[in-house]
Structure 1
Amino acid sequence: MAEWVTITGDGLTAAINPLGAELSSLRDAAGRELMTDADPRFWAGRAPILFPVVGRPSGDVIRVDGREYPMKQHGFARTRDFAVVDQAADRVTFRLTDDEGTRVHYPFAFRLDIAFRMERATLSVDVTIANSGDVPLPASFGFHPAFAWPLPYDRDRADHRIVFGADEPDELRAIADDGTIAAGTRPSPLDGRTLTLRDALFEKDALVWDHIRSDRVTYGASDGPQLEIAFPDTPMLGIWTKPGAHYVCVEPWHGIADPEGYAGEFCDKPGVFAVAPGASRRIGMSVTLAG
Structure 2
Amino acid sequence: MRVISLPRIGTVPAWRRHARALAAEGVPPGAVLWQLDAPEGAPSDLFAGAPAPEPPAPPVTLTLPREAVSAIETALHHSDPERFARTYGIVLRLARGDLRWGDRSDPALHRLLAQEKAVRRDIHKMHAFVRFREIGTPEAPRRTFAAWFEPDHPIVEPASSFFAKRFGDMDWIIATPTLTARFVSGTLSFEETRDTAPPAPDATEALWRTYFTHIFNPARLMVSAMTSEMPRKYWKNLPEADLIPEMIRTAPERAMGMIEAAPTVPPKRAEKLRRGNV
**When the two structures are superposed, what TM-score results if normalisation uses the length of structure 1?**
0.21
**When the two structures are superposed, what TM-score results if normalisation uses the length of structure 2?**
0.22
Larger strand fraction of residues = 1
Q: Which has the higher relative contact order, 1 or 2, with Cα contacts under 8 A spaced 6 or more apart?
A: 1
Q: Higher Cα Rg: structure 1 or 2?
A: 2
Larger helix fraction of residues = 2
